[in-house]
Structures are given as structure tokens and as C-alpha cells.
Structure 1
Amino acid sequence: MVGVTTPGKSAADRERSALLCVPFAGAGPSFFHPWRELAGDRLRVVSVELPGRERRIMETPYRNVVEAAKNSVDDVVAELGAGTRTVLFGHSLGAVLAYELVHLLSARGVPVERLVVSGSPGPWTQRERRATGLPDEEFLARVEEFAGFRHEALDHPEMRELILPVLQADCEMHENYVPSTDEPVSVPITSLRGDHDGLVTAAEARQWRDATTGEFGYTEFPGDHMYLVDSGRELLAVIEAESARDR
């Protein structure tokens, strides 16, 4: 089972839209915790918790996106509750995992308002530059090149021992991702990108237009591939504005 983390739900929580955040490679739910305060009472921020990190650090991480989505959907449906309007957000690896979840949630009748993808080419475009299979130091150097920064925890031997296998598994399932279906989703999609992202071009980010039969929007933020680290407030403002249009 794949966990979902969220604050306790009140009646007011159930009335507002949920923002289901799907983590990028190596990340866990805690990355999105500050977004709860930033979102205030406008969105209920919920995070998918994958094996191999944080509270589930002793569990074996997934190496296949489709498998991870299928094994997470039951927990997601249970947490969201019947009839909850939901926006999905995913960055990089999280974008394609969120895309798979939209297909599954739609089949369950969960009312998905919009899919917001970030730092990702269209789901049918496989990455040409890869890190999977490289020796540890080369792998970390390649990931640092992709992301534009190096997490300080990787410089501590004990933390690195815990984080590295998860990061390697995440990169493997991202770089080997093949969509479960060629059918586009029907929900609107918004694609986001840092304007200096050296990993995903603007043209690639706009490929998501072909992944939906609904409306499509595209927005750029100042920054590189990991622009969202410092742009949570601005990113949420875009999500809230797009969500308001869908009602």
C-alpha cells in the first residue's frame, strides 16, 4: 500500500478542493508540508507517500511508475473521500505518476478538476540523458546536473546510505517510464516549467497539450528545473486560479 499524508479533515476540509501532491525523485511528503500554510483555507493539501522515504523508509521503493500508481490509488481514493474535487500536482517524476493516477481516479469516478504537471516533457517522450545504471558518484553528478543543485543530506555518509537507493530507484522508474495507455485524459492540464530549465525545454513541456482532450495551459516561472523549491506561493496561486476557472 502507498500512504497518503494529510492534516485531520474537518467538515470545511471536505468542502474545499484537495490538492494531491505527488513527489519528485528522492522527495517525500514533507516537501509539501509548507504548502499547507501557504494554501490556507483555499486548498486542502494532501501528499502521496511512496515507499522508501520518511515514515516508510524501511520499505522497498518502486521501480515502475505504473505499478506505483496502481498500488497507491486505493489509499488516495480513501483519503480524498467521495465527491471531493481534486487537483493533482506532480513535478518531474511526479508528473508522470500523477498522469497515471488521473487515469485510475477517473475510472473510479473521482472528480478530478485538473492535472498540473511541472518540469516534465509529455508522457510519451522518454529522456535521452540518463543517470540509471551509472556508478554512485557519476550517478549523483548526473542528477545534480539535471536538478541544478545537490541536496546537502547527500554529503553526510549515513543519510546518503539511506537516500541514494531511493533516488536511484526513482530515477530508474522515471527514465524507463512507458505510459499505460495511449489514450489522453479528459481533464484539463496545466504544464509548468522553470524558464531556465536545462533538462526540459519549453517545447517539451508544451507536449502535454496532446495528453488531454480538455483545455491546456502553460506557465513559466523564473528558475531552473527545481524552481518550485523557492516558488511555492507563486505556484499555488497559479493552481488556485486554474482551479477556480474549472468550477
Structure 2
Amino acid sequence: MTITTRNDEPWLRRFHPAPEAKVRLVCLPHAGGSASFYFPVSRALSASVEVLAAQYPGRQDRRSEKCVEDVAELADRLVEVLLGWADRPLALFGHSMGATVAFEVARRLENTGVIAAGLFVSGRRAPSRQRVENIHRSSDDLLLAELKALSGTEAQLFGDSELLSIVLPVIRSDYKAAETYRYQPGPRLNCPIFALVGDSDPKVTVDDARAWAEHTTAQFDMGVFSGGHFYLTEHRSAVIHTILEHLARFCG
């Protein structure tokens, strides 16, 4: 089978091409996030891992496109694209909503015969741990309060009404996708899963993260870091080291 790749693919950003890399790491952003969130990760890993950062519709250079408000649709669209990059092993990393998207992408890839080299799920409870949340239905003020509580949004955004008018609809759409997601039971994945979580994350308990073990027949491991929902901003170097260590193990 001939695999082709497209550098102009709107769904992916390849900030640091690494033609000699043995594995590609596909990074899926959190609610309201964009591909650029993973630029530092791409730069740090570029010597040995090629990072493909997903760019969802509705943000940055795709801001004129309608947001996708359904995790299953996001996963479907991404898999269509990623099959064109499967000439090398694909690993997946997702933070918060991105972890759920990554899980659904991994399921769909397995249905096509492509088993991910590893699934890294950060700041997200296991799919089997359902929780009713309706923040996407809240007022702008309550949505902003949620963002401030999670400390994942740059402070200057809150004082810029023009920028808020652009960004809030995107964040609300992503919250809708995350909060209306319903796990459909099915076969366990055959790829290793590594869960990462902050020890004071208000959205995910350590037990919620440990439950990811229920979703794989392969190896499961977990890393607990100090901090809240966006612990990985403070611990970026440690997270990158964890990724490298486990990719080396997963990919031989």
C-alpha cells in the first residue's frame, strides 16, 4: 500500500518535520486549545519523534470554519487524515477533551488494522467514568469563571472583550463536545495506555485517571504530577521525558 502525506492538510500541523523519526506523536488539544499549544513539545521531541499537532476547525487559521461539537465526528475526521501518515507507528497524546478524542481515534484506527504505538491521556477521567456536566449551557460569566479556575487560559484574554467575543464561542463548542460525549462500551484497546494527571486537578481524581487501565489489554502505567488541571504547563520537561521514555519502550 502506498502512503501519501500532505503538508497542506488543514487538520494537522507539522512544526518540526523529522524524516528520520521512527514514530509520530499525534497531539490533540484541550477544549478551546489549538495546535500551537504543542509547538514547544514538537520542538523538544523533534530529534527523535515527529509531532503532528491537530488543528480543530474554528480557531486560528481555521477560525472561519464551523466548530465540530461532537467528539465522534472529530475522531472520524481525524482518522481519515491520519491514515495518510501511518507509514510509521503512530502514538497519540491528548489533554483534557483531547484525551477523549485520542481514545476514540485509537479505537477507530484499530478498526482499520492500525494499532497505536501508545496512547497518552492527560488530565481526563477514563471514558467509563461518566459525569454529568453542563458548563457549555452556562452564561459567559460562568464559563469564564470555569476557565479562570482551571488556569489554562492566559490572563490577558479575560481583559480583552474583542478577543473574548472570538474565543468564547469556540470554547463553548468544545465544552459541548466534551460534555455531551457518551462512552459506548466495546473491546479494549490493544495499545499501551499511559495516564497523566495533576494531584490537585478539580476535574479528575487520581482514581478517575487510574480507571484508564480498564480500557486496554496491553500495558498500563500512570504518572501523577503536582498541580491542577494544567499541571503539564509547569511540568513540560518531565512530561516530555515521560513520553520519550515510554515511546522507547513501546516502540522498541
- TM-score of the pair, normalised by structure 1: 0.92
Deviations 1:174-199 (Å, cap 9, x if unpaired)? 01111244322111100000112121
Corresponding residue of 2:48: 42
State the one-letter code of the partner of 1:24.
H
Corresponding residue of 1:125: 129
Asked if structure 1 preserves the Cα contact closer than 8 Å seen for 2:120 and 2:195, the reply is yes
State the one-letter code of the partner of 2:20.
A
Asked if structure 2 preserves the Cα contact closer than 8 Å seen for 1:2 and 1:72, the reply is no
Unaligned runs of 5+ in 2: 1-8
Change (3 A) 1:137 1:229: same
Structure 2 residue 14 is the aligned partner of structure 1 residue 6: yes
- Greater shift, 102-111 or 54-63, is seen at 102-111
SS at match of 1:178: coil
State the one-letter code of the partner of 1:115.
L
How do 1:153-232 and structure 2 match up within 5 A? 153-232=157-236
Asked if structure 1 preserves the Cα contact closer than 8 Å seen for 2:25 and 2:49, the reply is yes
SS at match of 2:20: helix
Hey, what's the Cα distance between the residues in 1 that align with 2:116 and 2:177?
25
Change (3 A) 1:38 1:2: same
Corresponding residue of 1:33: 39
CA RMSD of the aligned region, Å?
1.8
Change (3 A) 1:165 1:56: same
Deviations 1:160-183 (Å, cap 9, x if unpaired)? 111101100101110111124432
Identity fraction in percent? 29
Structure 2 residue 86 is the aligned partner of structure 1 residue 67: no
Q: Which 4+ residue blocks in structure 1 deviate beyond 4 angstroms?
A: none
Corresponding residue of 2:249: 245
State the one-letter code of the partner of 2:53.
S
Corresponding residue of 1:144: 148
CA-CA distance at 1:109 after TM superposition: 2.9
State the one-letter code of the partner of 1:209.
A
- Greater shift, 17-26 or 109-118, is seen at 109-118
SS at match of 1:12: coil
Asked if structure 2 preserves the Cα contact closer than 8 Å seen for 1:119 and 1:225, the reply is yes
Asked if structure 1 preserves the Cα contact closer than 8 Å seen for 2:16 and 2:46, the reply is no
Structure 2 residue 58 is the aligned partner of structure 1 residue 55: no
Unaligned runs of 5+ in 1: none
- TM-score of the pair, normalised by structure 2: 0.90
Hey, what's the Cα distance between the residues in 1 that align with 2:152 and 2:95?
16
Hey, what's the Cα distance between the residues in 1 that align with 2:142 and 2:18?
47
Asked if structure 2 preserves the Cα contact closer than 8 Å seen for 1:66 and 1:180, the reply is no
Hey, what's the Cα distance between the residues in 1 that align with 2:209 and 2:200?
12
Asked if structure 2 preserves the Cα contact closer than 8 Å seen for 1:3 and 1:72, the reply is yes
Deviations 1:100-157 (Å, cap 9, x if unpaired)? 0001112223341110001111112223454120111112112332x13543323211
CA-CA distance at 1:230 after TM superposition: 2.3
SS at match of 1:153: helix
- Greater shift, 59-68 or 135-144, is seen at 135-144
